[in-house]
């Protein structure tokens, strides 16, 4: 049985298999064959869907914005992932996660993933647990840690203490609306008049500009690096303040912050004034951890 670590985010879907990794946008579009298009699609419940980068060319595309949408379209995204990984006909164990706030939806999420042919077993854990598993060697070097999973929409956190060879979970939770989308919103408000057009763009289209720190208009490249850094500093400070509100004085005792998820690429680490560890390719950290959890389960 193949093990697959599946991290479905509101911005990107990340997948780890024994053969490698893949990532694609959490974008979906309904597809109606017209006899001309040869775009790759998946079928689910008698409907056809185009997924990922290919969906961007369709007018009726949409991105995931709620936990309910994530669960509803999870089979579509998983089918696309299995097709891309060449594992459509394999028996699989899927390990995935939901933000801690939505733990009551775990059974529904599991049922949705089980709809996909070939899925033999499903394990759902709180988002962030994958990052803990992926980075526990580093965590055990400290007396305690705060693990953050910064996605497109949410920031999930897990507060941990180390007791011998065990990790003790103290608190966990989800802060909605403070992910990378929030950084893009701050960035948008700071854009100068000459790029004012982009103030009307959806967050998902602003993120590539935020990453690059510049934009081309009329054949001219406009440097936005200073605005980018100002936005990311303000966003990082907002995260620090919200975490303090969420866990209070407990945050002051944490020697290590572990930051995974796509938002780790944007974070201003100096804001936190302590050791901040960002694992290799942090956007894949949850999926890597899910995969490791799946391997342990498969061996038992």
Q: In this predicted model, what pLDDT tens digit does every residue of 208-240 receive, in sequence order?
A: 889 999 988 878 889 999 999 999 999 999 999
H helices of the chain, in order, are 67-85, 106-114, 129-139, 180-190, 203-212, 225-247, 285-299
**Mean pLDDT, the chain, integer:** 91
Exposed (0-12), middle (13-18) or buried (19+): which is 34, by Cβ within 10 Å?
Answer: exposed
Give the mean pLDDT of 67-87.
94
Q: How confident is the model at residue 147 (pLDDT cuts 50, 70, 90)?
A: very high
Q: How confident is the model at residue 1 (pLDDT cuts 50, 70, 90)?
A: confident
| pLDDT tops 70 at residue 36 | no
| pLDDT tops 90 at residue 38 | no
| pLDDT tops 90 at residue 289 | yes
Candidate from 13-27, 211-225, 284-298 with smallest mean pLDDT: 211-225
Q: How confident is the model at residue 299 (pLDDT cuts 50, 70, 90)?
A: low
Residue bearing the bigger pLDDT, 276 or 208: 276
Name which of 79, 81, 57, 74 is nearest 10 in CA terms: 74
Q: What is the pLDDT of residues 25-35, one digit of tens each?
A: 999 998 887 76
Q: What is the pLDDT of residues 85-104, one digit of tens each?
A: 999 888 999 999 998 888 89
pLDDT for res 250: 87
The strand order across the sheet containing 47-51 reads 42-44, 47-51, 27-30, 62-63
| Beta strands at 220-223 and 119-126: parallel, antiparallel or unpaired | unpaired
Name which of 145, 172, 174, 175 is nearest 160 in CA terms: 145
d(CA 162, CA 146): 11
Candidate from 4-18, 78-92, 197-211 with smallest mean pLDDT: 197-211
pLDDT for res 37: 67
Count other C-beta atoms under 10 Å from residue 30's C-beta.
14
Name which of 111, 38, 126, 39 is nearest 78 in CA terms: 111
| % of the chain with per-residue pLDDT over 90 | 69
């Amino acid at each position: 049985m193949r093990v697959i670590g599946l991290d479905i985010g509101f911005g990107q879907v990340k997948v780890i298999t024994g053969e490698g990794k893949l990532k694609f946008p959490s974008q979906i579009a309904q597809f109606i064959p017209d006899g001309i298009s040869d775009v790759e699609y998946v079928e689910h419940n008698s409907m056809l869907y185009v997924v990922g980068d290919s969906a961007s060319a369709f007018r009726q595309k949409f991105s995931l914005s709620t936990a309910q949408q994530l669960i509803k379209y999870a089979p579509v995204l998983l089918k696309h992932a299995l097709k891309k990984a060449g594992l459509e006909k394999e028996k699989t164990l899927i390990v995935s996660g939901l933000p801690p706030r939505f733990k009551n939806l775990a059974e529904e999420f599991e049922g949705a993933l089980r709809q996909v042919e070939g899925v033999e077993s499903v394990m759902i854990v709180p988002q962030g647990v994958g990052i803990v598993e992926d980075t526990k060697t580093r965590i055990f070097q400290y007396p305690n840690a705060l693990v953050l999973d910064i996605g497109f929409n949410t920031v999930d956190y897990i507060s941990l203490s180390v007791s011998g060879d065990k990790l003790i979970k103290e608190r966990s939770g989800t802060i909605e609306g403070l992910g990378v989308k929030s950084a893009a919103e701050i960035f948008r408000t700071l854009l100068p008049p000459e790029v004012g057009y982009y103030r009307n763009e959806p967050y998902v289209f602003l993120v590539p500009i935020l990453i690059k720190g510049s934009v081309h208009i009329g054949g001219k490249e406009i440097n936005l690096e200073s605005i980018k850094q100002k936005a990311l500093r303000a966003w990082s400070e907002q995260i620090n303040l919200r975490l303090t509100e969420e866990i209070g004085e407990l945050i002051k005792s944490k020697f290590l912050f572990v930051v995974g998820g796509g938002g780790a690429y944007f974070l201003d680490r100096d804001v936190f004034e302590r050791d901040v560890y960002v694992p290799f390719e942090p956007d894949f950290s949850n999926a890597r951890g899910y995969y490791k959890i799946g391997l342990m389960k498969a061996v038992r």
